[in-house]
Amino acid sequence: MEALDAAIEGGARFVGFVTYSKSPRFLRPEKLKALAERARGRVETVLVTVNADDAHLVAATDAARPDWIQLHGTETLRRAAEVRLFARRGIIKAVGVARREDLETIKPFEAVADMFLFDAQAPAGGQPGGNALAFDWRLLAGAEVARPWLLAGGLTPGNVKEAIRTSGADLVDVSSGVETSPGVKDPHLIAQFLAAAEV
């Protein structure tokens, strides 16, 4: 709760709740519901999912009533359109980036995604996100993206200002960069990150 309050008080536009069971940031339904209720009306909420089936989405959206659903897996265009029905405001499609050509993979999703999140590509055998890995932010500079987008991957209070300047990002996403250990958010780091992101 303290980390959530720090994010809201620091001026975050969004807060994310991870429902992927293999993540160290996974929230059980009762914790998800409590956090979502505390956030409701104060900040936009994002349900972070990975290849979630309908049963998972029904349970998670019932608990959280999220504004947005983030797709951080290998969801197809058709699946993205199906998931969009569960979100009150829309979906955010995460895209792994290692080279400029990876940005072309978003084109088909522009018809159903409301926002994109550009993250470092996951390492072999690693988690789909939250790996504290950055990619070359210059790949995004001047990129033509038809939807609003967020920069993610290896961002910290110490590098977010440079990341924004280099990539041209209007929105940024952080997770591991404000943690003291996997899944343990530090309210002070959150406040520092948000202050640094106000460029």
Query: What pLDDT shows up at residue 108?
Result: 94
CATH assignment of the domain containing 164: 3.20.20.70
Q: To the nearest 10°, the Cα dihedral for 64, 67, 68, 69?
A: 30
Q: How many domains does the chain have?
A: 1
Query: Coil, strand, or helix at residue 138?
Result: helix
Query: What pLDDT shows up at residue 133?
Result: 82
Query: What pLDDT shows up at residue 199?
Result: 53
CA 36/CA 65 separation, integer angstroms: 8
**Helix, strand, coil percent content, the chain, rounded in steps of 5:** 40, 20, 40
CA 120/CA 23 separation, integer angstroms: 16
pLDDT in tens, the chain (199 residues): 899 999 999 999 999 999 999 999 999 999 999 999 999 999 999 999 999 999 999 999 999 999 999 999 999 999 999 999 999 999 999 999 999 999 999 999 999 999 999 999 876 666 666 667 899 999 999 998 999 999 999 999 999 999 999 999 999 999 999 999 999 999 999 999 999 998 5
DSSP state of 73: S
DSSP state of 171: E
Half-sphere exposure of 167 (CA within 13 A, CB side): 28
Please tell me the pTM assigned to this model: 0.92
Q: Which domain holds residue 93?
A: 2-197
